[in-house]
Structure 1
Amino acid sequence: MVSTPRKPAKRAAKPAAAAGSSARKSKPKRHWVRGLVILFVVLAALGVGGFALAVSLTDVPSPNEVSTSEATIVYWADGKTELGRLGEATRRSVALADVPLDAQHAVLAAEDRTFYEHGGVSPLGIGRAVINNLKGGSTQGGSTITQQYAKNAYLTQDRSWSRKAKELLLAFKLETVVSKDQILEDYLNTIYFGRGAYGIEAASIAYFGTSVENLDAAQAAVLASVIKSPNGLAPEENLPALKARWAYVLDSMIEQGWLTPQQRNSAKFPDINKQKAGNRLGGQTGFLLQAVTDQLITLGFDETEIQRGGLRITSTFEKGAQKGATAAVRKVGPDANTEGLRIGLAAVRPGTGEVVAMYAGKNFIDDQINNATREFAQAGSTFKPFALAAAFEQGVPLGTELNGDSPSTVNGYTFSNYGDKSYGPVSLLQATEFSINSAYVQLESEVGVDAVAESAIRAGVPDTTPGLNLDNLDLTFVLGTASPSGLSMANAYATFASGGIRSEMTYIKSVMGLNGGLLFEYDPKTMVAFDPNIANSVSYTLNKVVTDGTAFAAQKLDRPAAAKTGTTDGNKSAWFVGYTPQLATAVLMAKEDASGLPVSLSGTGGLGTVTGGSYPAAIWTAFMTAALANEPVVDFTPPTGDLTVAPDCPLIMPVDGTKIPVGCPTPSVIEFGPEPSVDASASGAPVPSGAPMPSGVAPEPLQPGDQSAPEPGGAPAPTAVPPPPTDEAVPG
Structure 2
Amino acid sequence: MRINYPRSERDGVMRFVPSGRQFLALIGMGFGVLLLVFLVLYALVKVPTPNEFSTAQATVVTYADGKTEIARVADANRTSIPLSDVPLVVQREVLAAEDRDFYEHGGFSASGIARAAWNNIIGGSTQGGSTITQQYAKNAYLTQDRTLTRKAKELVLSIKLSQTRSKERILEDYLNTIYFGRGAYGIEAASQAYFKIPASKLTGTQGAVLASLIRSPAGYAPETNKDRLRGRWNYVLDAMVAKEWITEKSRARQKFPKIAKRGSGNRLEGDNGFLVDMARRELSALGFSEEEVARGGYRITTTFDQKAMNAARTAVEEKGPETGVKGLRIGIAAVQPGTGAVLAIYGGDDYLTDQFNNATQGIVQAGSTFKPFALAAALENDISLYDRFSGVNGTTFTFPGFAPYRVNNFDGYNAGGSISLLRATQSSVNTAYVDLENEITPEAVVDSAIRAGIPGTTAGLNAGPTTVLGTSSPHTLDMAAAYATFAARGLQANPYVIASVRNANGGLLYSKRPEVSRAYDADIASQVTYALTQVVKNGSGFAAQDLGRPAAGKTGTTNSNLSAWFVGYTPEIAVAVSMAKSTESGGLKTLRGTGGMTRVTGGSFPARMWTAMVKAFLKDTPVQQFDGTTSNSDGYGGGSYKRKSTKSPTATSTTKPTGAPTTKAPTPVPTVPPATSPPSTP
Aligned-residue identity in percent: 53
Paired with 2:204 and 2:121, the residues of 1 have a C-alpha distance of 37
| Structure 2 partner of 1:63 | 50
1:479 aligns with 2:469: yes
Aligned pairs for 1:225-264 within 5 A: 225-264=212-251
Aligned partner (choices 610, 613, 619) of residue 629 of structure 1: 619
| Structure 1 partner of 2:387 | 400
Q: What whole-Å deviation, never above 9, does each CA across 1:222-280 have from its counterpart, x for those lacking one?
A: 00001111112111111111111100000001001111111101111111111113632
Q: What whole-Å deviation, never above 9, does each CA across 1:95-120 have from its counterpart, x for those lacking one?
A: 11111111111011111111122222
Equivalent pair of 2:526/2:639 in contact (CA under 8 Å): no
| Structure 2 partner of 1:551 | 541
| Structure 1 partner of 2:253 | 266
Aligned to 1:274, what secondary structure does the other structure show? coil
Q: Which amino acid aligns with 1:427?
A: S
Q: What whole-Å deviation, never above 9, does each CA across 1:20-70 have from its counterpart, x for those lacking one?
A: xxxx969x9999644553454354234224312311321122212221100
Aligned partner (choices 406, 426, 433) of residue 433 of structure 1: 426
Query: How far apart are residue 421 of structure 1 and its match?
Result: 2.1
Equivalent pair of 1:155/1:167 in contact (CA under 8 Å): yes
Paired with 2:591 and 2:532, the residues of 1 have a C-alpha distance of 26
Q: Describe the shift of the 1:135–1:102 C-alpha distance in structure 2 as closer, same or farther (beyond 3 A).
A: farther
Q: What whole-Å deviation, never above 9, does each CA across 1:179-220 have from its counterpart, x for those lacking one?
A: 221111111001111111100011111111111111111110
Paired with 2:260 and 2:240, the residues of 1 have a C-alpha distance of 25
Paired with 1:268 and 1:640, the residues of 2 have a C-alpha distance of 68
Stretch moving more, 163-172 or 209-218:
163-172
| Structure 2 partner of 1:195 | 182
Q: Which amino acid aligns with 2:405?
A: Y
| Structure 1 partner of 2:406 | 414
Q: Describe the shift of the 1:160–1:53 C-alpha distance in structure 2 as closer, same or farther (beyond 3 A).
A: closer
Aligned Cα root-mean-square deviation (Å):
2.0
Query: How far apart are residue 312 of structure 1 and its match?
Result: 0.4
Q: What whole-Å deviation, never above 9, does each CA across 1:372-430 have from its counterpart, x for those lacking one?
A: 00142000000000000001001111111111111111112112112222222211111
Paired with 2:214 and 2:43, the residues of 1 have a C-alpha distance of 31
Aligned partner (choices 204, 214, 221) of residue 217 of structure 1: 204
Aligned pairs for 1:14-25 within 5 A: none
| Structure 2 partner of 1:562 | 552
Q: Which amino acid aligns with 1:279?
A: N
Aligned partner (choices 28, 40, 55) of residue 53 of structure 1: 40
1:363 aligns with 2:357: no
| Structure 2 partner of 1:603 | 593
Paired with 1:165 and 1:303, the residues of 2 have a C-alpha distance of 36
Aligned partner (choices 316, 325, 336) of residue 329 of structure 1: 316
Aligned length: 628
Aligned pairs for 1:633-652 within 5 A: 633-637=623-627, 638=636, 642-643=640-641, 645-649=642-646
Q: What whole-Å deviation, never above 9, does each CA across 1:560-585 have from its counterpart, x for those lacking one?
A: 00000000000000000000011000
Paired with 1:487 and 1:589, the residues of 2 have a C-alpha distance of 13
| Structure 1 partner of 2:445 | 452
Stretch moving more, 521-530 or 116-125:
116-125
Where does the alignment leave 5 or more consecutive residues of structure 1 unmatched? 1-23, 650-662, 667-725
Query: How far apart are residue 299 of structure 1 and its match?
Result: 0.4
Paired with 2:353 and 2:144, the residues of 1 have a C-alpha distance of 34
1:130 aligns with 2:127: no
Aligned partner (choices 487, 501, 515) of residue 505 of structure 2: 515
1:577 aligns with 2:567: yes
Query: How far apart are residue 509 of structure 1 and its match?
Result: 0.9
Q: What whole-Å deviation, never above 9, does each CA across 1:287-312 have from its counterpart, x for those lacking one?
A: 00000000000000011111110000
1:313 aligns with 2:300: yes
Q: What whole-Å deviation, never above 9, does each CA across 1:605-650 have from its counterpart, x for those lacking one?
A: 111001100101111011101111243211112565653x43234x
Paired with 2:258 and 2:127, the residues of 1 have a C-alpha distance of 27
Paired with 1:280 and 1:30, the residues of 2 have a C-alpha distance of 68
Q: Which has the higher contact order (CA 8 A, sep 6+)?
A: 2
Q: Which amino acid aligns with 2:608?
A: A
Q: Which amino acid aligns with 1:345?
A: I
Equivalent pair of 1:284/1:359 in contact (CA under 8 Å): yes
State which structure, 1 or 2, has the greater radius of gyration over its C-alpha atoms: 1
Q: What whole-Å deviation, never above 9, does each CA across 1:580-616 have from its counterpart, x for those lacking one?
A: 0110000000011100111100001111001100101
Paired with 2:307 and 2:297, the residues of 1 have a C-alpha distance of 26
Equivalent pair of 1:377/1:483 in contact (CA under 8 Å): yes
Query: How far apart are residue 665 of structure 1 and its match?
Result: 5.9
| Structure 1 partner of 2:670 | none
Equivalent pair of 1:419/1:727 in contact (CA under 8 Å): no
Q: Describe the shift of the 1:116–1:406 C-alpha distance in structure 2 as closer, same or farther (beyond 3 A).
A: same
Equivalent pair of 1:96/1:181 in contact (CA under 8 Å): yes
Equivalent pair of 2:557/2:601 in contact (CA under 8 Å): yes
Query: How far apart are residue 727 of structure 1 and its match?
Result: 7.2
Equivalent pair of 2:57/2:74 in contact (CA under 8 Å): no
Equivalent pair of 2:182/2:265 in contact (CA under 8 Å): no
Q: Which amino acid aligns with 1:417?
A: N
Paired with 2:111 and 2:285, the residues of 1 have a C-alpha distance of 55
Q: Describe the shift of the 1:138–1:487 C-alpha distance in structure 2 as closer, same or farther (beyond 3 A).
A: farther
| Structure 2 partner of 1:345 | 332
Q: Describe the shift of the 1:36–1:140 C-alpha distance in structure 2 as closer, same or farther (beyond 3 A).
A: closer
Q: Normalising by structure 1, report the TM-score.
A: 0.83
1:354 aligns with 2:341: yes
Q: Which amino acid aligns with 2:55?
A: T
Paired with 1:299 and 1:44, the residues of 2 have a C-alpha distance of 60
Paired with 1:35 and 1:232, the residues of 2 have a C-alpha distance of 48
Stretch moving more, 133-142 or 393-402:
133-142
Q: Describe the shift of the 1:665–1:54 C-alpha distance in structure 2 as closer, same or farther (beyond 3 A).
A: closer
Aligned pairs for 1:689-700 within 5 A: none
Equivalent pair of 1:496/1:536 in contact (CA under 8 Å): yes
Query: How far apart are residue 140 of structure 1 and its match?
Result: 5.1
Equivalent pair of 1:490/1:584 in contact (CA under 8 Å): yes
| Structure 2 partner of 1:704 | none
Q: Describe the shift of the 1:168–1:639 C-alpha distance in structure 2 as closer, same or farther (beyond 3 A).
A: closer
Query: How far apart are residue 450 of structure 1 and its match?
Result: 1.1
Q: What whole-Å deviation, never above 9, does each CA across 1:479-534 have from its counterpart, x for those lacking one?
A: 00000000000000000000100011111111001121100001111100000000
Q: Which amino acid aligns with 1:349?
A: Q
Where does the alignment leave 5 or more consecutive residues of structure 2 unmatched? 1-7, 399-403, 628-635, 651-679
1:144 aligns with 2:134: no
1:423 aligns with 2:415: yes
1:530 aligns with 2:520: yes
Equivalent pair of 2:428/2:681 in contact (CA under 8 Å): no
Q: Which amino acid aligns with 2:444?
A: A
Equivalent pair of 2:390/2:649 in contact (CA under 8 Å): no
Q: Which amino acid aligns with 1:476?
A: T
Paired with 1:594 and 1:44, the residues of 2 have a C-alpha distance of 74
Paired with 2:461 and 2:544, the residues of 1 have a C-alpha distance of 29
1:85 aligns with 2:75: no
Paired with 1:439 and 1:625, the residues of 2 have a C-alpha distance of 33
Paired with 1:258 and 1:84, the residues of 2 have a C-alpha distance of 38
Q: Describe the shift of the 1:563–1:29 C-alpha distance in structure 2 as closer, same or farther (beyond 3 A).
A: closer
Stretch moving more, 404-413 or 381-390:
404-413
Paired with 2:528 and 2:622, the residues of 1 have a C-alpha distance of 22
Stretch moving more, 368-377 or 564-573:
368-377
Q: Which amino acid aligns with 1:80?
A: K
Q: Normalising by structure 2, report the TM-score.
A: 0.89
1:464 aligns with 2:457: yes
